[in-house]
A and B are shown apart, each in its own frame.
Chain A
Amino acid sequence: MKLCYRLAAIGLLFSAAVGLCVLSAGADRLASPGVEEIATDPDAYDDQPVFLFGDVVSVDTVSRTMVVSAGDDPERRFTIESVSKPTIYAIEPGGAIQVSGVLAEESAVVVSDNVVVDYRNGADFRYVYRASVLGGLLAAAGFLWFWRVEFRQLGFVPRGDR
């Protein structure tokens, strides 16, 4: 394939990737209401089931509740109630959770059925980022061991007979 055709095809595919991101943002593929919908009309969602991902702002082990911040724009805070004892003691502010439950009190409260702790604290985030950087370096090193950039053809070609 000629270089100009390849570049044109890459441009088209890049547009397709951007299109996927735009379509994905506009698609409502979760049965549960999103933070944006809840923020628009909080009263309307009381007693409705909800499934949220959020960052933990504060934890109260006595009342077994926590405050989480969900969504980016708008961001909204929810108080999560009825959190199980092992979960409330496992999580720290700065962690991240998912909650499934029912909205109450003008959607300020989620009475939880189940809480899953994704990241207990900052150390869990750091572990995932570091492991991902290491994995990325391994993949890149393995690839560049066998392939090199040929600048005249503007593409990857094998490195000899390794």
Chain B
Amino acid sequence: MAEWVSHVCLAYALFTVTGWYVDWLDSRWIAVGVVGSILPDLDRLDLLVPGDRITAITGIPFEWAGINSVGGAVVLSAIGALLFARPSHQRRGFLLLLAGAFSHLLVDLPQRYADGLMLTNKYLFPLPAWRPPTPGWYVSADRWVAIVAATVALAVFFADRYRTPAPKPVTVERPDQ
């Protein structure tokens, strides 16, 4: 996994640029998408409550990694969406949380692995395991990833701030109508 500064910055940039083309995707929904970008890493709950301890207590095999996956992204986004009070917000919330969670999985894909393959067997769960070659661009502790992500986010922030929004189409009635 990349650290969360990178995930948050890249999600901010992604949703801000998307918002240039989608009217309703304003700052409050961008904030929801950014939260979605850290949902899959809720498997870090393992640091507080180790999966092995849960297995030892319940006798049932358990590993938090199950939610750091496509299936986990869908389920966690649905739970998050239901935390919005209004139905219209729940629908948009689900969409943004899911898009954010998928952005997380996408950013995690090109990491370096010793066997030269992506860790898609984990991220695609419960879909069939399939492991294409990884470009091996980074490991979690590479500082340059956060620097690039923060630079991209800052560039998009300033572009967004000084950008002239496209004019909305104006309907002019013809005098003879």
Contacts and interface: CB of A to CB of B under 8 A. Distances in A.
* Pairing of A with B: yes
Interface of A: 1, 6, 9-10, 13-14, 16-18, 20-27, 29-30, 32, 51, 72-73, 97-100, 113-120, 124-125, 127-128, 131-136, 138-140, 142-143, 145-147, 150, 153-158, 162
Contact of B66 (A14, A24, A158): A24
8 contacts: A17-B72, A22-B61, A24-B125, A114-B115, A127-B143, A132-B4, A143-B31, A150-B85
Interface of B is mostly: helix
B155 interface: no
B141 A127 contact: yes
Contact of B61 (A9, A25, A131): A25
Nearest to A121: B141
Nearest to B56: A73
Interface of B: 3-9, 12, 27-28, 30-32, 34-35, 37-38, 41, 44, 50-52, 55-56, 60-67, 69, 71-72, 75-76, 78-79, 82-87, 89-90, 112-116, 121-122, 125-126, 129, 139-141, 143, 146
A138 B28 contact: no
Nearest to A145: B31
Contact of B63 (A25, A97, A134): A25
Nearest to A115: B114
A154 to B, nearest CB: 7
A30 B5 contact: no
Contacts of A30: 121, 129
A87 to B, nearest CB: 11
A81 to B, nearest CB: 14
B79 A22 contact: no
Nearest to A50: B115
Given A20-B66, A22-B60, 16 more contacts: A18-B62, A20-B125, A21-B64, A29-B122, A32-B115, A97-B114, A98-B114, A116-B114, A119-B141, A125-B141, A131-B5, A139-B35, A140-B35, A142-B35, A146-B27, A156-B89
A122 B166 CA distance: 50
B55 A146 contact: no
Contacts of A132: 3-5, 41, 44
A1 B66 contact: no
Nearest to A28: B129
